[in-house]
Amino acid sequence: MFVVQYNFEINEESLIFLIFDVYIRNMRSSSPRELALYIAILATSMFGGTIFILNFFQTDKLWVLIILAVVVFFILIYLIIFQIFNNFIFEKIQPIYKSIHEHSLSQKELKKRIEKKDMISAVNKEVEDWANTKTHEIKKLKQIEKYRKDFLGNVSHELKTPIFNIQGYILTLLEGGLEDNKINKLYLKRTEKSINRMISIVEDLESISRLESGELKLSIEKFNILKLTEEVLEALEIRANQHNISLNLGSGYNKAIYVLGDRKRILEVLNNLLVNSISYGKEKGKTTVSFMDMGQNILVDVTDTGIGISEKDIPRIFERFFRSDKSRSRDEGGTGLGLSIAKHVIEAHHQTINVRSKLGKGSSFVFTLKKA
């Protein structure tokens, strides 16, 4: 009987690199079990081939023992490789998942993941997705920080003007103006006007904050949007005449147009849009409110022939305190919050508001409401 002695020493580091080299080159779509099977077959083939060659010319051939030795060798190699591979995965991959998912996966959960096909690509994709998400979050945080700084700057600037006006009027009165009948009532009226402006700014900011936080509950009801528009146009007629601008209702509306919404808030939206068209209107300009049936919704279109909005300003037109023509809008005495409030009110109705505009040609603000 010929005895073959085969010394097989496993170097863990070398075996791991061998496994990954084979995996990357040939088995990119294999699971760990399939990879271990592949390596075991390869090693067993080499082992079995060596025994076969060494025993082929022997007269006393114990083929059953040879086959049994090959099978045992195959099982041992498979289990060893699979165990080493799994240990390597748990050691190297688990910290990655801990960083990505912000918690440590249990051994059972991680085993489910590494049993999947194309594990390396899956991990790589999760890392890329995680990196993209973090990049997006950082970008968003930077935008929020910029918005916060701009907002605080705008609020302080808007409040500073009426505060300084009030301070000036009161100091004048205290220094003797109170005894002068020609200026005491005039300065008190101007003080009242500045106080009312501050109140308007604070109330508008409160409205936006309540809309954003969901504290302001809408009172949804069925109402005639056509009649509501007529009321707003009538209320703003004197203001429009002072600017030599005509306010018009589109033609062809012979019957009521019913929608579902908060009537008081939609009145506020229409008022803000029309006041905006007057403030930025041209001499002898025109503003027209029209409606369109959009199936389940009614589209409201407020179009003017005013100064328009530049293309670079359109994305920011609904921001708080943003003004495309700062000097002109300040002369009108608005808070700079009207369009922002309109946007929040319409979005609170789960509808949309958009603007189309061309510099020097006018603007068109359109929003939708659910048909009743």
Residue where the block lists tokens 């306010």: 247
- Per-residue pLDDT of 313-369, as tens digits, reads 888 888 877 766 655 544 555 567 888 889 989 999 999 999 999 888 899 999 999
Report which DSSP code applies to 336: S
Return the CA Rg of the chain.
39
Pure H helices in the chain = 12-26, 32-55, 63-101, 107-114, 119-174, 184-213, 225-235, 237-242, 263-279, 326-332, 338-348
| pLDDT reading at 206 higher than 50 | yes
Rounded CA gap, 43 and 37, in Å?
A: 10
- Residue 103, CA atoms < 13 Å, CB-side half-sphere: 5
Query: Torsion over CA of 293, 295, 298 and 301, rounded to 10 degrees?
Result: -60
Q: What is the mean pLDDT of the chain?
A: 77
- Return the closest-CA partner of residue 309 out of 359, 272, 361: 359
Roughly what angle, to the nearest 10 degrees, separates helices 107-114 and 63-101?
110
- For the chain, how many residues are written? 372
Q: Tell me if residue 251 falls in helix, strand or coil.
A: coil
- On whether the 220-371 domain is CATH 3.40.50.1100, my answer is no
> What's the average model confidence in pLDDT over 170-180?
86
Task: Tell me which fold the domain 150-213 belongs to.
Answer: Helix Hairpins (1.10.287)
| pLDDT reading at 29 higher than 50 | no
Q: Is pLDDT larger for residue 128 or for residue 239?
A: 239
Q: Which helix (H) or strand (E) holds 286?
A: strand 286-294
Phi, psi of 269 (to 5 degrees): -65, -50
| pLDDT reading at 8 higher than 50 | no
Chain centroid to CA 170: how far?
47
Q: Tell me if residue 290 falls in helix, strand or coil.
A: strand
> What's the average model confidence in pLDDT over 71-90?
73
Domain-wise residue ranges, the chain = 12-117, 150-213, 220-371
The pLDDT assigned to 235 comes to: 92
Q: Tell me if residue 178 falls in helix, strand or coil.
A: helix
The pLDDT assigned to 101 comes to: 61
Rounded CA gap, 210 and 35, in Å?
A: 59
Residue where the block lists tokens 């006018």: 362
Amino acid at 362: G
pLDDT-derived band at 230 (thresholds 50, 70, 90) equals very high
